[in-house]
């Protein structure tokens, strides 16, 4: 259900905003290094890596939808332009 919420949320982002969000999520995952909890003084922090991965997956899915929509529409239309330039008679 959480991934569905992120899909809806990310559909409101522009392609540029999604690219920034994807970079941020990738950085967060790289910096996590498998650490899911940390204590600093009297405060403790936890990070759900699966949630972070789900959020990144949703952002990537919507980014692909937004940036390749023209190509996908052509593919659904059932037409293509063949390139015969490499064929010799």
| Residue 70: domain span | 2-75
Number of folded domains in the chain? 1
Collapsing DSSP to helix, strand or coil, 36 comes out as coil
Answer whether residue 19 is part of any domain.
Answer: yes
Does 7 score more than 80 pLDDT?
yes
In 3D space, the residue among 17, 28, 2 whose CA is nearest the CA of residue 66 turns out to be 17
The model carries a pTM of 0.63
The answer to the question of residue 38 being in a domain is yes
In a domain, 62, yes or no: yes
Which spans in 33-78 are helix H? 49-67, 69-77
Instruction: Give dist(CA 7, CA 10) in Å, integer.
Output: 5
pLDDT at 47: 63
Closest CA to 51 of 62, 42, 61, 59: 59
* Residue 20 included in any domain: yes
At residue 72, the pLDDT reads 52
In this predicted model, which residue has the larger pLDDT, 74 or 8? 8
Is the pLDDT confidence value at 52 over 70?
Answer: yes
């Amino acid at each position: 259900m959480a991934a569905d919420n992120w899909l809806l949320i990310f559909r409101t982002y522009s392609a540029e905003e999604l690219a920034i969000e994807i970079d941020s999520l990738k950085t967060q995952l790289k910096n996590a290094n498998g650490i899911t909890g940390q204590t600093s003084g009297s405060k403790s922090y936890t990070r759900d890596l699966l949630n972070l991965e789900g959020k990144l997956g949703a952002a990537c899915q919507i980014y692909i939808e937004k940036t390749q929509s023209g190509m996908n529409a052509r593919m659904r239309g059932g037409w293509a332009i063949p390139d015969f330039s490499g064929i010799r008679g």
